Structure 1
Amino acid sequence: MLEAVDTDLWLTEGPVVDFHGFPYPTRSIIVRLPDGKLWVWSPVALTPELKAETDALGPVGHLVSPNKIHHLYLTEWHAAYPEAKLWGPASTIRKRSDLPFEPALEDVPPEDWQGVFEQAWFRGSFFMDEIAFVHRPTRTAIFADLSEHFSDDFLKRYWKGWKGFLAKPWGIVVGKGFAPLEWRLSFTNRKPARAAFEKVAATHPDRIIMAHGEWVKTGGEAFLRQAFAWLIR
């Protein structure tokens, strides 16, 4: 169930979930930090198999929500790993006031993972913000909804009829990898988002992993400028 991507970096595919009538695949990333603790980004459904594989890697130390949409499975992971710290931007913390979060994530990584991750706070939208991460040792950039990259096979299977017809002009397909149209349009102040993009680009990522769609195994810098063309042009 866990796929080894690189040294101390794994991903796992979760179930397809419904988001306002649109089926979305889900994906989580697990990183083992230098202290041996596991950093779990955007947790997916915690099955017994996934829990056993996760436990074999080490103790879960951090559960990370990158934006206010990616919180669905935090409750079950927190119940399974009550000693793990919960992290997210202020928007997630407000939405999930039932959970005991650490101070809100912004542009500066907390001491718990300084030097391992770069992080960039994409804000300036009235709809949603997101914390993007770059795993420095493997040059892997990590996005939740800032880049969606659906294959034709996925769209034919899950986005039938008019839904699939919309995907290409929205730019959330392989070959573009844009953020959803409504989110792009909601950036009334693009300056802080552009600064966040440049912060990610400055790390020269080679691999891009997103929560939804086909992840990019190499050529990440070119993909990054393609996926954020709407923001930086």
Structure 2
Amino acid sequence: MADGPIVDFYSFPYPTRMVIARLEGDALWVWSPIALSDELRAEVEALGHVAHLVSPNKIHHLFLSEWKDAFPRALLWGPASTIAKRTDLAFQPALEDTPPPEWGPDIDQAWFRGSFMMDEVVFFHRPSRTAIFADLIEAFSEDFLQKHWSWWQRPLAHIDGVTAKSPHAPGEWRLSFTDRTPTRAARDKVLGWKPEQATLAHGEWCKTDGLAFVERALEWIGKSPEEPRDDATA
């Protein structure tokens, strides 16, 4: 992982974080690339060759161009929503539920859709048993909020449910999932991974007990119809 600079998102300061995974043959899988400094580029090149640049949703695209310019042989990947937003870039086929063969042995994925606002592809790095989330789980620490969010913005983080004490997707995004059937299927797939860790683009990531962390953060999606309700009686 590598943390990048703070970016402005509709006047709200957001931290940035990317993930790099080494695939077979020292090929590097770069998720949600951050701003590329000379120092970072040297560190990345020391790890292997950048083969894949991955956008998990249509918001995480800001630095794709500079990474593609720096590593022209790298393939660009993202869901259809990212591809539609960045028509200036040439992407591989849109990411959905099934990982492409280029990284399928090492990384699985689940496509969260059903919202009229945005979708997201969540990934699972099998060797480290780490689930990787962009905006579907946000967990801002109180320290970060005190340092970077203004007095009137900080209460909104708690109302929106995006703090380290109560990590979730932003409230307005949760409400936009009007068709939760595919959302539940993606959630069930993620829980089936039984992650030990959960890495987040925005906020405090979970280093232990990852399954419980993810289960709590995604509880708003609700139970699948075939699951028993908590208030069911025999």
TM-score (normalised: structure 2): 0.94
Residues 145-160 of structure 1 aligned to structure 2 (within 5 Å) = 145-160=135-150
Paired residues in the alignment total: 223
Deviations 1:110-136 (A, max 9, x none): 010012111000000000000000001
Deviation, structure 1 residue 162:
1.3
Q: Which residue of 1 aligns with 2:196?
A: 206
Deviation, structure 1 residue 35:
2.5
2:20 is paired with a residue whose SS is: strand
Gapped runs of 5+ residues in structure 1?
1-10
Tell me the amino acid that sits aligned with residue 89 of structure 2.
Answer: L
Deviation, structure 1 residue 168:
1.1
Question: 2:156, 2:82 → 1: CA distance?
Answer: 28
Q: Which residue of 2 aligns with 1:139?
A: 129
Q: Which residue of 2 aligns with 1:165?
A: 155
Deviations 1:120-161 (A, max 9, x none): 000000000000000011110000000000100000111121
Question: 2:196, 2:167 → 1: CA distance?
Answer: 15
2:40 is paired with a residue whose SS is: helix
1:112 is paired with a residue whose SS is: coil
Q: Please say if 1:106 is aligned against 2:100.
A: no
Question: 1:187, 1:114 → 2: CA distance?
Answer: 28
Tell me the amino acid that sits aligned with residue 78 of structure 2.
Answer: G
Q: Please say if 1:51 is aligned against 2:41.
A: yes
Q: Which residue of 2 aligns with 1:26?
A: 16
The partner residue of 2:181 within 166, 176, 191 is 191
For the aligned residue pairs, the C-alpha RMSD in angstroms reads: 0.7
Q: Which residue of 1 aligns with 2:105?
A: 115
Report percent identity of matched pairs: 59
1:31 is paired with a residue whose SS is: strand
Deviation, structure 1 residue 13:
0.3
The partner residue of 1:81 within 71, 74, 77 is 71
Question: 1:226, 1:147 → 2: CA distance?
Answer: 10
Question: 2:184, 2:193 → 1: CA distance?
Answer: 15
Gapped runs of 5+ residues in structure 2?
224-234
Tell me the amino acid that sits aligned with residue 216 of structure 1.
Answer: C
Question: 2:53, 2:222 → 1: CA distance?
Answer: 31
Deviation, structure 1 residue 20:
0.4
Deviation, structure 1 residue 94:
0.5
Between structure 1 and structure 2, the one with the greater Rg is 2
Deviations 1:180-231 (A, max 9, x none): 1111011010111111011011010010001000011011011011101111
Question: 2:166, 2:159 → 1: CA distance?
Answer: 10
Question: 1:198, 1:136 → 2: CA distance?
Answer: 17
Q: Which residue of 1 aligns with 2:2?
A: 12
Question: 1:174, 1:71 → 2: CA distance?
Answer: 25
Runs of 4+ aligned residues of structure 1 deviating over 2 Å after TM superposition are none
Question: 1:232, 1:205 → 2: CA distance?
Answer: 20
